[in-house]
Structure 1
Amino acid sequence: MLSLKGKGVCGGVTLGTLAVLRRNAAAVKRRKVQNAEAEVARFQTARQDAIDKLAELYEKAVADVGKDNAAIFEIHQMMLEDLDYIESVEGIIRTQQVNAEYAVQTIAANFAEIFSSMEDDYMRARAADVKDISNKVLGCLGDAGSSWESGSGSYILAADDLAPSETVQLDKSRVQGFVTAAGSVNSHTAILARTIGIPAVVSTGSSIGEEYDGKLIAVDGYTGEVFVDPDEATLERIKAKMEQDAQHKKLLEELKGKKSITGGGQQVHVYANIGGTGDLASVLANDAEGIGLFRSEFIYLESKDYPTEEQQFEKYKLAAEAMAGKRVIIRTLDIGADKQADYFELLQEENPALGYRAIRICLERPELFATQLRAICRASAYGKLAVMFPMIISVEEVRKARKILREVQAELKYAGVSFDPKMEVGIMIETPAAALISAELAKEVDFFSIGTNDLSQYTLAIDRQNQQLEPFFDAHHPAILRLIEMTVQGAHAAGIWCGVCGELGADLSLTKEFVRMGMDELSVSPASILPLRKKIRSL
């Protein structure tokens, strides 16, 4: 038996036949060429062919996983249009008088090494992207590629790594899961796996050799364990866990349509966090009572330029209509810190988490802010929308933001455009400053939503993305819990409701504590809705 341990990126336990990915990876050889310009032309033709194929992949991904999650293939097309990439490949062809295949592979290796050496997790994940686009070009040049055969029937796929384009091409009716030696929990591939719902384990450290192809394999997406050709004891244990998992999911299904209410009669609304309209199907499938956090910044992050009012309106309107009268809370633009869009032309900061971000940008760029607010207000005529301002630290900020909102609504009213004049307005409590003055802030708004991710890092003075500081990070620190309870008390004293939309909302070990505090709402990822409802009903 071969036993591996990695990181689970999508929960579930599965048992099936192993298919080891076989790429058409013929070694690229360096050849001298007589006509360098002819090779440049070959490269340009292959590059355009690759762009066309990526466009086809984008359309397929939109149908499979939604527009937001398919955006990676638009990014890959942009990477193939990047002048640095193009000029680097052409430079090698011309200066070394070599074949296009060698130049493409060399630049892919160079760029991947640069990305891999960066400290930022997001940039390190781009190493897989540059390899992916280069493989596309190599495939179009006819010297190498990434197509593979998996036989017939269901299977569990194993590979050294999987590019996003390979993941989206998986036949979901046949594939039961996948295992990769490399990859990270933050990669686009992991995100796609979670969206598709395939049990997956990445970063096992060791590849599974072709000699295991066709063997029985067990994958535990919860623990990150992988067993190839398991012995009898392991097999029995995995089968028992699969049965428990199936029973658990069946019991959770029975909770659909039921209220999230404790045995003592206390109701806690369970909402969903989403990154865009592509997540709506999962929200509905998991029976969310509403959307507690629509991360509108993803509309900006996936755009090449500032999204128009009409583009934003269509997305907010779709969410409002899909939820059919259930509350949809749209967080206004939260660009900055680790979420950057080049066209904003933000200055580089030594400590961006404490810098120019979120409401601070919106208040200093009021026309940008007003455009988004007009789109939200117009969409409010199609459902129960609410708007929420992030990173608030003062009463004055709330008043300035609400003033711009009132001006937008006055313009719409004058123009005869429909909107909901009673649309709720809330703020996120993400800083100790906001929590400490929550009683004053509560007089200015209709609700609070506590962003525990930022509240934790600002309270503990620990960067939540710094892996080196993980031993020091305590999400259950008494200071964090006291600030949360203080916020709930401040809200209720003013007669408004309070919820949580950060990661702690899905922490079942804290659910009882949140209920004790009197929390009105918990907003979590769609997959966490039914387990959370079960926990609440058990109290």
Structure 2
Amino acid sequence: MVSDRQTSSRRLLGRLKQALAEPAEGQERLDRITRLIAEEMHTPVCSIYLFRDEETLELCATEGLKAEAVHKTRMRMGEGLVGRVAASTKPINTGNAPSEAGFRYMPETGEEIYSAFLGVPIQRLGEKLGVLVVQSKEQKAYVDDEVYALEVVAMVLAEMTELGAFIGEGAAMAAPHQHPVMVRGNVGQEGAAMGQVFLHEPRVVVTNPFADDAEAELSRLQQAVDKLRISVDEMLTGADDADKDQRDVLEAYRMFANSKGWMRRMEADINRGLSAEAAVEKEQTAARVRMQQVPDPYLRERLHDLDDLSNRLLRLLTGQGTDSGVEMPEDPVLVARNIGPGELLAYGRGLKAIVLEEGSVGSHAAIVARALAIPLVINADRITTEALNGDRVLVDGDQGIVHLRPEESVTAAFRDKMAMMTKAQERYASIRRVPATTVYGPTIRLDMNAGLMADLPSLRSSGAEGVGLFRTELQFLVRSKLPSRGELAALYSRVLDAAEGKRVVFRTLDIGSDKVLPYMKPQDEPNPALGWRAIRVGLDKPGVMRMQLQAMIRGAAGRPLTIMFPFVAQFEEFLAARRALLAEMEREERLGHVLPQKLEIGAMLETPSLAFAPKHFFEEADFISVGGNDLKQFFFAADRENERVRRRYDTLNVSFLTFLEWIVMRCRETKTPLSFCGEDAGRPVEALCFAAMGFRALSMRPASIGPVKHLLRRSNLAEVREIIDEARATGMQSVRPAVMDWLRQQG
């Protein structure tokens, strides 16, 4: 039986549907809506505020306030009660507005005679679009039924705003998905590309939020939910061999899919006049809002599950984004909120570029993108809202900039940039087979970093002399369960086959911090970058480390084997890991397996403490590789995942170069081979300075070898060292300006 409350809401939505269906300009539509809401809710004032830009709200329509205030009254996010609603995305309901904290009196509106205030956010899936307000003279808060009715109307307004229903003369909002948009993000992987948008999870557009036949909509919802529950049960059945943590996640997923409260709320929304998909999206929006406000990472992940289930349900209801949807274009640029490493690998090297709304420089997606040498921009705000499948897009991974639907002048300039990059690559190809010998010597060894079999062809095409770092964790990250020893041994054997006799440095499992295995229980650590990770996990979980070491020994199949332990902070850790490896060598020999022809055991120097280890450490290590990414963040106490601080500190800072010089000196004293590995090794100016400070081996992504070699072959290291020493002597904070001046003088 339909209640009075539901009848009232349906009547209001029915009138709203009629108003939106009638032909009108955007401003006329907004005026009609405020008028009918005021009439239906028997309140003298109804106003609609929309965002003019990300921080500014504008009064776009009103019934009851002074008409001349429309498009003139503006406020910042958080300013006044309207700004507070927008900032908090929560309703404000008060019978005495002037007494509320943050109240702002706007004399041009004539609102001083109204005491009661109810404001609700106009938002869609966490995207803030505006605020809907009703006011009255009576000092009395609005009742729950009225609050609910206004929230439902705000949700419909959000949908219609997204569909461009209010575009027209005088409207604050620009037409969505039509005009050029430039989005600034952060660099995840350098490079440039142009192509067409391919959405990883296309947004479901609810074209009709209204429903005349509630019974039919309830039936559609029930059928879609039944299909959803069956698909979740199938996921669980397919995970019979999964570990307990995996099953726990899927069980939580099923719990949400069978939630009676979730279903009851959606059914209530349909009974008040919403369509099935609009009811689902209303609940999804509420989940997104809660997700943004929950500090607990576990609860946030559970809300993410509910968000994902809502997406699946919307696709079942609308048919959008299913297998019958848009085909991948020939030049796809993948756009997503975020993406897992397995999903990204499934797309492969066919992608021209990747743009993520979330993500970090150390995320799984960034690791895979770097391995595949695909330009990546992360933290591209609102990109999934702005982009549509098939949109032309330019991705500047060097600057972290994305141009959607670019104007021809921007496209022309971008084509010129790409042509210059192509020309440079041709120049680098001509020196592919010659050594990186500097003017008057010495020669610098240039290796490449890898993590996938797909990287190995770059050994030949880039001119790399070997693999200075093979990240073994990627094979663990992209799987739903722990790989077997046999699988790993076969992989390591194929890597050595592909290297064709060139040296490959296998780094043992480097997990923890930002790299959490999907089948490993997350550790609740206040600072995971300084927590239980890499060699610490290996020594505490010796079974996993032993299995990987056995796989490496067997994969070598009698060929030379080079193994490096990550994140060693003190000598004892290296000794313990080295003992574990030698014990496995003895065990393999007893079992009659072929041992490596030669074994090198090294350490990655990523913590400042290891640079001051006893001399015996440098004598015991067969080689040392400076892990520049982590070492720099610990040296400067600047989290490389934190965009506010990670760029504040220059690699060519005098203090950091002096510290690197100390490491070079200690290795030279014991004749321990030393290399520098990381993003900075692949930046030509930084690589030149490292070579001048005494590094004779650098390891980088394959695409960087050409530019680095080109600069090294034209430079005199003795002169560069003089420039660095002079800059240090004069008290400069960074040697970069002096080195850049010298390079310009050299032409």
CA contact (8 A) 2:224 2:313 kept: no
* 2:703 aligned partner: 527
Whether 2:539 is the aligned partner of 1:381: answer no
Q: Are residues 443 and 506 of structure 1, via their aligned partners in 2, closer, same or farther at CA, if it must alter by over 3 Å?
A: same
Whether 2:203 is the aligned partner of 1:2: answer no
Q: Are residues 367 and 263 of structure 1, via their aligned partners in 2, closer, same or farther at CA, if it must alter by over 3 Å?
A: same
Cα distance in 2 between the residues matched to 1:371 and 1:213 = 45
Offset of residue 332 of structure 1: 1.7
Whether 2:658 is the aligned partner of 1:478: answer no
Task: String of CA shifts for 1:98-128, please: whole Å, max 9, x gaps.
Answer: 5796787577656655655578999999999
**What is the one-letter code of the residue matched to 2:704?**
S
| Paired residue secondary structure (1:419) | coil
Name which of structure 1's ranges 431-440 and 296-305 shifts more when overlaid on structure 2.
296-305
The counterpart of 2:644, out of the listed 461, 465, 468, is 468
* 1:25 aligned partner: 205
* 1:88 aligned partner: 256
CA contact (8 A) 1:125 1:184 kept: no
Q: Are residues 455 and 168 of structure 1, via their aligned partners in 2, closer, same or farther at CA, if it must alter by over 3 Å?
A: closer
* 2:228 aligned partner: 43
* 2:137 aligned partner: none
Offset of residue 493 of structure 1: 1.9
Offset of residue 249 of structure 1: 1.7
Unpaired segments ≥5 residues, structure 1 = 56-73
| Paired residue secondary structure (2:428) | helix
* 1:226 aligned partner: 403
* 2:417 aligned partner: 241
Task: String of CA shifts for 1:169-217, please: whole Å, max 9, x gaps.
Answer: 88987x865767x344556666666666665656554669999999976
Q: Are residues 471 and 125 of structure 1, via their aligned partners in 2, closer, same or farther at CA, if it must alter by over 3 Å?
A: farther
| Paired residue secondary structure (2:557) | helix
**What is the one-letter code of the residue matched to 1:443?**
E
Cα distance in 1 between the residues matched to 2:344 and 2:208 = 24
Name which of structure 1's ranges 16-25 and 495-504 shifts more when overlaid on structure 2.
16-25
Q: Are residues 320 and 103 of structure 1, via their aligned partners in 2, closer, same or farther at CA, if it must alter by over 3 Å?
A: farther
CA contact (8 A) 1:430 1:450 kept: yes
Q: Are residues 195 and 94 of structure 1, via their aligned partners in 2, closer, same or farther at CA, if it must alter by over 3 Å?
A: same
Name which of structure 1's ranges 381-390 and 245-254 shifts more when overlaid on structure 2.
381-390
Name which of structure 1's ranges 348-357 and 316-325 shifts more when overlaid on structure 2.
348-357
CA contact (8 A) 1:12 1:245 kept: no
Q: Are residues 295 and 344 of structure 1, via their aligned partners in 2, closer, same or farther at CA, if it must alter by over 3 Å?
A: same
Cα distance in 2 between the residues matched to 1:446 and 1:14 = 41
* 2:436 aligned partner: 260
| Paired residue secondary structure (1:4) | strand
Cα distance in 2 between the residues matched to 1:518 and 1:311 = 40
Task: String of CA shifts for 1:131-177, please: whole Å, max 9, x gaps.
Answer: 6675455435554435687799866769685867997888987x865
1:95-114 to 2 correspondences below 5 Å? 96=264
1:283-302 to 2 correspondences below 5 Å? 283-302=459-478
Name which of structure 1's ranges 408-417 and 467-476 shifts more when overlaid on structure 2.
467-476
Name which of structure 1's ranges 83-92 and 432-441 shifts more when overlaid on structure 2.
432-441
Q: Are residues 206 and 326 of structure 1, via their aligned partners in 2, closer, same or farther at CA, if it must alter by over 3 Å?
A: same
Q: Are residues 19 and 470 of structure 1, via their aligned partners in 2, closer, same or farther at CA, if it must alter by over 3 Å?
A: closer
* 2:526 aligned partner: 350
CA contact (8 A) 1:23 1:146 kept: no
**What is the one-letter code of the residue matched to 1:269?**
R
CA contact (8 A) 1:380 1:423 kept: no
Q: Are residues 436 and 122 of structure 1, via their aligned partners in 2, closer, same or farther at CA, if it must alter by over 3 Å?
A: farther
Offset of residue 535 of structure 1: 2.4
1:330-341 to 2 correspondences below 5 Å? 330-341=506-517
| Paired residue secondary structure (1:255) | coil
Cα distance in 2 between the residues matched to 1:334 and 1:123 = 27
**What is the one-letter code of the residue matched to 1:4?**
M
Offset of residue 511 of structure 1: 1.7
Whether 2:498 is the aligned partner of 1:317: answer no
Cα distance in 2 between the residues matched to 1:350 and 1:190 = 23
**What is the one-letter code of the residue matched to 1:295?**
R
Unpaired segments ≥5 residues, structure 2 = 1-178, 268-275, 716-747
| Paired residue secondary structure (1:417) | coil
Q: Are residues 321 and 125 of structure 1, via their aligned partners in 2, closer, same or farther at CA, if it must alter by over 3 Å?
A: farther
Q: Are residues 231 and 365 of structure 1, via their aligned partners in 2, closer, same or farther at CA, if it must alter by over 3 Å?
A: closer
Cα distance in 1 between the residues matched to 2:265 and 2:695 = 68
CA contact (8 A) 1:268 1:522 kept: yes
The counterpart of 1:251, out of the listed 392, 411, 427, is 427
Cα distance in 2 between the residues matched to 1:168 and 1:394 = 36
**What is the one-letter code of the residue matched to 1:230?**
E
* 1:502 aligned partner: 678
| Paired residue secondary structure (1:443) | helix
Larger radius of gyration, structure 1 or 2? Answer: 2
| Paired residue secondary structure (1:82) | helix
Cα distance in 2 between the residues matched to 1:303 and 1:154 = 28
**What is the one-letter code of the residue matched to 1:527?**
A
* 2:452 aligned partner: 276
CA contact (8 A) 1:336 1:352 kept: yes
Cα distance in 1 between the residues matched to 2:348 and 2:530 = 44
Cα distance in 1 between the residues matched to 2:235 and 2:416 = 46
CA contact (8 A) 1:13 1:221 kept: yes
TM-score, normalised to structure 1, is 0.77
Q: Are residues 493 and 130 of structure 1, via their aligned partners in 2, closer, same or farther at CA, if it must alter by over 3 Å?
A: farther
1:66-145 to 2 correspondences below 5 Å? 82-92=250-260, 96=264, 135-136=311-312, 138-140=314-316, 143-145=319-321
Instruction: State, as a whole percentage, how many aligned pairs show the same letter.
Output: 27
Cα distance in 1 between the residues matched to 2:204 and 2:191 = 31
**What is the one-letter code of the residue matched to 2:407?**
P
Cα distance in 1 between the residues matched to 2:679 and 2:195 = 33
Task: String of CA shifts for 1:344-385, please: whole Å, max 9, x gaps.
Answer: 557533333333332233334433332222111222226432
**What is the one-letter code of the residue matched to 2:667?**
A
Q: Are residues 105 and 311 of structure 1, via their aligned partners in 2, closer, same or farther at CA, if it must alter by over 3 Å?
A: farther
Offset of residue 49 of structure 1: 7.9
Cα distance in 1 between the residues matched to 2:578 and 2:372 = 39
| Paired residue secondary structure (2:537) | helix
Offset of residue 325 of structure 1: 1.0
* 1:412 aligned partner: 588
Offset of residue 91 of structure 1: 0.9
Q: Are residues 509 and 113 of structure 1, via their aligned partners in 2, closer, same or farther at CA, if it must alter by over 3 Å?
A: farther
| Paired residue secondary structure (1:270) | strand
Name which of structure 1's ranges 191-200 and 395-404 shifts more when overlaid on structure 2.
191-200
| Paired residue secondary structure (2:684) | coil
CA contact (8 A) 2:667 2:674 kept: yes
Cα distance in 1 between the residues matched to 2:253 and 2:335 = 27
Offset of residue 20 of structure 1: 9.7
Offset of residue 477 of structure 1: 3.2
* 2:666 aligned partner: 490
Cα distance in 2 between the residues matched to 1:215 and 1:345 = 40
Task: String of CA shifts for 1:240-297, please: whole Å, max 9, x gaps.
Answer: 3232122112112223222222222322221122233343344554332211112223
Offset of residue 469 of structure 1: 2.8
* 1:326 aligned partner: 502
CA contact (8 A) 1:24 1:146 kept: no
Q: Are residues 350 and 484 of structure 1, via their aligned partners in 2, closer, same or farther at CA, if it must alter by over 3 Å?
A: same
Q: Are residues 129 and 13 of structure 1, via their aligned partners in 2, closer, same or farther at CA, if it must alter by over 3 Å?
A: farther
